[in-house]
């Protein structure tokens, strides 16, 4: 009886919490006033920012900077001189792209090959019937060569520490570009799409006969596909950790840039540090030069992680394994959220790229998973993107303290959170350590690492320079993961992630 009473009390507190969240949402919509301070608030009130100012909305470049100014006036953003500097440069590009079309670069014929004078003489046909060869004294009339098209606008590569507002500025820029041929995507999702297109082209090739070989390079044709679809690409979290990606980036982006595609990207790393100490990095370095040639590099780093600033917290969403009643609370919260689902609780089979991935406990748009289910198996960005498409709330239980001996799991967890954050998936965690101490830079010297070193014929000194063995990339990326998990526990993030509530608003 006592256990039942405790359980009922927990359920009641959750009900009150959810009712309060819904009520807060209704009050927000009625008041049409931007809520308090905080990094994540700008997304919630950006649509109603005009209500904070009596000025009529401007057009063009002024609308972009004006929107930012209203967000500052509302208190949704703080004054930041470095952000405003980036804003001014993005505003100029936004104005340039209003009537921009890259078809002139796609259809521009390649320049004719240049021949030296000796080649020209050798190539002449002594039996030619032209007036020149007949000695008629009249030169043949050549068609004038059309002038080359003007160079396409330069894009931007914005890098800096976590939580400084890079993604926020890029999203504001993207929302104000009045050009229908634009695309905004997480870099992981973009590269996944590229590999799918490459695979599809290879599959469409005619079958080769035994003993007959031919070379086919699908990278440039795939880049041309992208160029015909869009003239502006905005990437969030530009990072290179996969050797398969590193090997194709130069050719892929060189074609994109030459066909007039404008790129705006955010990253935590400066261009020269991309794929730092990666395997076969020498073949990747030329891509960095291409990136610098077609994109302005901007460093945005005010030294403030805005995600960590005070923002209204949601009900507790991060629990420690040793806390009394933690498992009970997660069970009760799952049951409470499941009440609004038009589904029964049970396993869910996901098919991703021809593979089956089973999640043992789901209900509608809610998934209750263990860390081993999500990160202990060989899953990747494609699997996590599919989960983000299907679920708006994911419970992640039994997250261990991530030491260097768990590099594979740490990589997957970082990719998981990146994709969930980008798609506004809500998470409830049960972990072995507090968030700030979830990743520990100890351990390592894994038996698998030593075996791989032997297989590659590398000495210990060589391994010290490879992030594959040092976990430098994981340490660097996990700072972003911690920062994002901080924001994902705020009330505004939780409310925005409620897809059923969003649908109701759209239908209202």
Q: How confident is the model at residue 277 (pLDDT cuts 50, 70, 90)?
A: confident
Which pLDDT does position 313 carry in this prediction? 56
Residue 165 has which token pair? 């507002």
Give mean pLDDT, residues 151-170: 92
C-alpha 100/C-alpha 278 separation (Å) is 37
Sequence-distant contacts of 447-456: CB under 8 A, at least 24 apart: none
Q: Is 358 strand, coil or helix?
A: strand
Which pLDDT does position 314 carry in this prediction? 56
The string of DSSP letters for 18-76 reads HHHHHHHHHHHHHH----SS-TTHHHHHGGGGGGG--SPP--THHHHHHHHHHHHHHTS
pLDDT at residue 35 is higher than 60: no
pLDDT tens string 398-456: 999 998 788 889 989 999 999 999 899 999 999 999 998 898 876 655 555 555 445 54
- Which residues, in sequence order, are bridge partners of residue 295? 155
More confident residue, 330 or 35: 330
Q: How confident is the model at residue 56 (pLDDT cuts 50, 70, 90)?
A: very low
Which pLDDT does position 166 carry in this prediction? 93
Which residue segments constitute the domains of the chain, with CATH numbers given? 98-104+152-205+217-299 (3.40.50.300), 315-507 (3.40.50)
Which pLDDT does position 318 carry in this prediction? 92
pLDDT at residue 62 is higher than 70: no
Q: What whole-number percentage of the chain has pLDDT above 70?
A: 69
- Which residues, in sequence order, are bridge partners of residue 397? 370
Of 72-76, 182-186, 369-373, minimum mean pLDDT range: 72-76
Which pLDDT does position 506 carry in this prediction? 42
Q: Measure the CA angle with vertex 426, ends 425 and 431; round to 5°.
A: 120
Torsion angle in degrees (nearest 10) through CA of 441, 445, 446, 448: 130
Q: How confident is the model at residue 349 (pLDDT cuts 50, 70, 90)?
A: very high
pLDDT tens string 356-408: 999 999 999 999 999 999 999 999 999 999 999 999 999 999 999 998 788 88
Which pLDDT does position 356 carry in this prediction? 94
Helices 187-203 and 407-422: angle between axes, nearest 10 degrees: 100
Backbone φ and ψ for 461, nearest 5 degrees, come out as: -65, -40
Q: How confident is the model at residue 211 (pLDDT cuts 50, 70, 90)?
A: low
C-alpha 255/C-alpha 106 separation (Å) is 10
Of 205-214, 243-252, 458-467, minimum mean pLDDT range: 458-467
Q: Is 241 strand, coil or helix?
A: coil
pLDDT at residue 227 is higher than 80: yes
b/e code 487-508 from CB counts within 10 Å (16+ = b): bbbbbbbbbbbbbebeeeeeee
Q: How confident is the model at residue 142 (pLDDT cuts 50, 70, 90)?
A: low
pLDDT at residue 466 is higher than 70: no
Backbone φ and ψ for 329, nearest 5 degrees, come out as: -65, -45
pLDDT at residue 94 is higher than 90: yes
Q: Is 161 strand, coil or helix?
A: coil
Q: How confident is the model at residue 14 (pLDDT cuts 50, 70, 90)?
A: very low
pLDDT at residue 66 is higher than 80: yes
Which pLDDT does position 271 carry in this prediction? 94
Of 46-50, 148-152, 314-318, 471-475, minimum mean pLDDT range: 46-50
Give mean pLDDT, residues 117-144: 49
Q: What whole-number percentage of the chain has pLDDT above 90?
A: 42
More confident residue, 223 or 121: 223
Q: Mean pLDDT in the chain?
A: 78
Q: How confident is the model at residue 212 (pLDDT cuts 50, 70, 90)?
A: low
Which pLDDT does position 448 carry in this prediction? 52
């Amino acid at each position: 009886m006592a256990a039942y009473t405790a359980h009922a009390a927990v359920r009641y507190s959750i009900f009150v919490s959810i009712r309060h969240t819904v009520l807060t949402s209704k009050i927000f919509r009625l008041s049409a006033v931007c809520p308090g301070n905080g990094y994540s608030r700008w997304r919630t009130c950006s649509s109603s920012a005009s209500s904070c100012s009596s000025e009529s909305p401007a057009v063009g470049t002024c609308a972009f900077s004006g929107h930012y100014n209203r967000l500052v006036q509302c208190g949704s953003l703080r004054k930041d001189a470095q952000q405003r500097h980036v804003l001014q440069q993005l505003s100029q590009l936004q104005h340039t792209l209003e009537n921009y079309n890259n078809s002139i670069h796609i259809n521009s014929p390649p320049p004719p090959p240049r021949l030296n004078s000796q080649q020209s003489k050798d190539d002449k046909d002594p039996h030619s019937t032209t007036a020149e060869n007949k000695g008629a004294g009249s030169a043949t009339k050549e068609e004038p060569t059309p002038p080359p098209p003007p160079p396409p606008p330069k894009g931007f590569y914005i890098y800096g520490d976590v939580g400084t507002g890079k993604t926020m500025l890029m999203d504001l820029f993207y929302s104000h570009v009045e050009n229908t041929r634009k695309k905004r995507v997480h870099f992981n999702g973009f590269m996944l799409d590229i590999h799918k297109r490459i695979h599809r082209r290879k599959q469409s090739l005619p079958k080769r006969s035994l003993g007959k070989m031919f070379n086919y390079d699908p990278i440039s044709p795939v880049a041309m596909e992208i160029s015909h679809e869009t003239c502006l690409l905005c990437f969030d979290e530009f990072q290179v950790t996969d050797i398969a990606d590193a090997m194709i980036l130069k050719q892929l982006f060189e074609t994109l840039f030459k066909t007039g595609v404008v790129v705006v990207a955010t990253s935590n790393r400066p261009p020269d540090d991309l794929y730092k100490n990666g395997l076969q990095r020498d073949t990747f370095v030329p891509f960095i030069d291409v990136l610098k040639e077609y994109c302005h590099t901007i460093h945005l780093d005010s030294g403030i992680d805005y995600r960590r600033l005070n923002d209204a917290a949601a009900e507790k969403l991060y629990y420690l394994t040793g806390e009394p009643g933690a498992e009970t609370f997660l069970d009760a919260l799952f049951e409470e959220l499941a009440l609004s689902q038009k589904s029964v609780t049970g396993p869910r089979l996901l098919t991703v790229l021809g593979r089956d991935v089973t999640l043992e406990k789901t209900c509608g748009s809610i998934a209750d998973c263990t860390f081993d289910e999500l990160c202990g198996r060989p899953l990747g960005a494609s699997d996590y993107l599919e989960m983000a498409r299907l679920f708006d709330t994911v419970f992640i239980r039994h997250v261990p303290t991530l030491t260097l001996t768990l590099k594979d799991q740490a990589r997957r967890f970082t990719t998981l959170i990146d994709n969930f954050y980008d798609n506004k998936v809500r998470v409830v965690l049960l972990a072995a350590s507090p968030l700030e101490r979830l990743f520990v830079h100890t351990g390592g010297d894994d038996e698998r690492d030593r075996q791989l070193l032997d297989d590659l014929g590398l000495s210990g000194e060589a391994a010290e320079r490879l992030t594959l063995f040092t976990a430098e990339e994981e340490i660097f990326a996990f700072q972003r993961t911690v920062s994002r998990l901080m924001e994902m526990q705020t009330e505004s993030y939780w409310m925005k992630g409620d897809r059923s509530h969003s649908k109701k608003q759209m239908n209202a």
